[in-house]
């Protein structure tokens, strides 16, 4: 994955995310839109398999890059919490599972 910032002026930030698809980008957008400081979070694929996604972010106030960092950290926490729940429910070592 590679991040290329195209524009960072005032409350606006746009960047390309090379090597990624909606699996990463959609949760990022969803998390950004939960931030009260974010006015717009959107991404565009000109072609789903041939183009690089471009992400646009605008804040109501504050630096959009800081909002992006907050969203990434929140997603990391969400995934760690999910992993902890998954680990807590894993069958004991050596247990056999029944397959349907």
Which domains, ranges and CATH numbers included, belong to the chain? 2-80 (3.30.1360.10)
45-93 pLDDT tens trace: 887 677 889 999 999 999 999 999 999 999 999 999 999 998 888 776 6
Q: What is the pLDDT of residue 19?
A: 85
27-42 pLDDT tens trace: 999 999 999 999 999 9
Which CA distances in Å does 100 have to 4, 17, 20, 89, 90? 46, 40, 34, 19, 18
Q: What is the pLDDT of residue 95?
A: 58
Q: Structure pTM? A: 0.81
């Amino acid at each position: 994955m590679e991040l290329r910032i195209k524009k960072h002026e005032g409350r606006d930030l746009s960047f390309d995310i090379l090597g990624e698809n909606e699996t990463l980008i959609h949760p990022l957008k969803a998390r950004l839109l939960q931030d009260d400081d974010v006015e717009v979070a959107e991404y565009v694929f000109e072609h789903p398999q041939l183009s690089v996604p471009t992400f646009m972010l605008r804040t109501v106030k504050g630096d959009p890059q800081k909002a992006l960092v907050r969203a990434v950290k929140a997603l990391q926490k969400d995934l760690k919490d999910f992993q902890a729940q998954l680990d807590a429910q894993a069958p004991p070592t050596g247990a056999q599972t029944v397959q349907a």
